[in-house]
Amino acid sequence: MTALIVVDLQVDFMPTGMLPVPEGDRVVPLANRLMPHYTTVVATQDWHPADHGSFAANHPWRKPGQTIDLHGLSQVLWPIHCVQGSWGAEFVDQLDTDRVSKVFWKGTDPTIDSYSGFYDNGHRKSTGLAEWLRGRGVTEVHVLGLAADYCVKYTVLDALREGFDTVLIEDATRGVELAPGDVARAIAEMRTAGARIVQSQDLSLVK
Ligand code: VGL
Ligand code: ZN
């Protein structure tokens, strides 16, 4: 069984959002087109408390884009984004969310960030995604969404670690690109770790 993982298609990651991903909106129609071809679709939602340690605003004299040590882990600081219950944390309006069987929240612990849909950045706590997928007989996952160089990358790497056959749908992702080349490097890293990198038109659907 193959599942589709839709990563963080939320208002704040759209080009007009608080943590804009260039062309992030281009991914939404592709997600809508692909979802009906999978019996299992899950979505992740970045879901931070207002006091989250990844927000530059919670660290006096720090700016977005800077890196700090957050409780022993290297942490890039971000603008305030995806605050629980806020408009920016909602899935984008145009996304067909009735196709989503289950939503997994991440980044809820203020002391640690969580890029992957499976674990926090210290691999301390599971979101339950791997167990849930295995319980449904899923052995292969296809991943799309935002952002290619953060949450998509770490979701793909954790899926591989968890033993899933893992496919990145390359044209259905976009990156933040804090540094030019970050997306290309992220894709190379995913490929080296064992992910298959495909274009949506090359997928043989139905799954
Ligand atoms: C993300 C930075 C901070 C993402 C989430 O969805 O890629 N990036 N929080
Ligand atoms: Zn976040």
To the query of whether residue 151 is one of the catalytic residues in this protein, the response is yes
pLDDT per position in the chain (207 positions), as tens? 999 999 999 999 999 999 999 999 999 999 999 999 999 999 999 999 999 999 999 999 999 999 999 999 999 999 999 999 999 999 999 999 999 999 999 999 999 999 999 999 999 999 999 999 999 999 999 999 999 999 999 999 999 999 999 999 999 999 999 999 999 999 999 999 999 999 999 997 655
Which ligand minimizes its atom distance to the CA of 154? 1
To the query of whether residue 106 is one of the catalytic residues in this protein, the response is yes
**Residue showing tokens 């700090």:** 68
| Cα 170 to Cα 93: distance, rounded to the nearest angstrom | 23
| Cα 161 to Cα 158: distance, rounded to the nearest angstrom | 5
Does pTM surpass 0.95? Answer: yes
Per-residue buried b or exposed e for 171-182, using 16+ beta carbons within 10 Å of the residue's own CB: ebbbbbbeeeeb
8 lines ligand 1 (CB under 6 A): yes
Q: Whose CA is nearest to atom 3 of ligand 1?
A: 78
Provide the ipTM: 0.98
